A and B are shown apart, each in its own frame.
Chain A
């Protein structure tokens, strides 16, 4: 596992976090845009240029991989690589710790 790349990505930006979440199974560009929109109730919007730029970079770094289109479909699909899974898991642990550590203090606030 390439620690250098993991370090480069953590902590994840909001955008990258949601993009990666959508790539647990093979998924293609436009569907990802819609899913992120739904998941966040419109709070995080990905434009086509933003998404394309982000996926190109993620593929180059080996965080996600291209999947050959099934059957007649020539649409590009993406899926998390083991490296991508590791990054996402570590981010999840990190975020969980943030919440857990803040909980007793913040919930005690009036």
Chain B
């Protein structure tokens, strides 16, 4: 009977090497990745422990894993594990060749940041735009004192915070891309800015959480 282990874990988009290293450690303990749900819930099955190298390849959110794509990894010695939310996971017994292949994927990881950087910028600017509109419409600039809507104004501070934080993350990703293009290192180490980015993601998620609770709360109050 095989035994399963489920783990909740969250990696930031810039932490691919950290994720791969963690999956390798799990394999060393005998836990082999089976599937990933929603990018945060990992399922492992218990097998004989071994040294396995993982590759996490970003395909793009709406790309399907075509047969030719999977075959190329197979030919290169990698076993297909699973694909989720635009990410595909591959595994191979660690050897010289596999380590070399992994080194050859650095550029690819850089491309991923370029794609995601755009998303951060758009959502960030959108948030600032919503904040700006809210200030204009609800602070009574147009309608005078009567048009003031204090609740909306307070509520929109969340847009301001999220917008600014997302723009900061955009900046961090920018410097990361530059580093990837210029560094000769095989792997990029975690920098302080990555840790800062992770904390910021948590702040944003918390803000959104609070926003949801407030929205649902005020809705319920309105109903009853």
Contact = CB atoms under 8 A, between A and B. Distances in A.
Contact of B105 (A42, A49, A75): A49
A29 B68 contact: yes
Interface stretch (A2-10, A50-58, A87-95, A98-106): A50-58
A3 to B, nearest CB: 24
Contacts of B71: 29, 75
B72 A51 contact: yes
B108 A76 contact: no
Interface stretch (B4-12, B17-25, B73-81): B73-81
Interface residues of A, number: 17
Given A30-B76, A33-B76, A47 B108 contact: yes
B73 A53 contact: no
Interface string A31-66: 001000100001001111111110000000000000
Contacts of A49: 55, 57-58, 73, 105, 108
A45 B78 contact: no
B75 A30 contact: yes
A45 B111 CA distance: 16
B224 interface: no
A30 B101 contact: no
Contacts of A47: 55, 76, 101-105, 108
B175 interface: no
Contacts of A42: 100
Interface string B66-103: 00110111011010000000000000000000001111
A45 B72 CA distance: 15
Nearest to A66: B68
Contact of A45 (B55, B69, B73, B101): B101
Nearest to A36: B104
B107 interface: yes
B100 A52 contact: no
A79 to B, nearest CB: 15
A42 B100 CA distance: 9
Across the A-B interface, the 3 shortest Cβ-Cβ residue pairs: A47-B105, A45-B104, A47-B104
Interface of A: 15, 29-30, 33, 37, 42, 45-53, 75-76
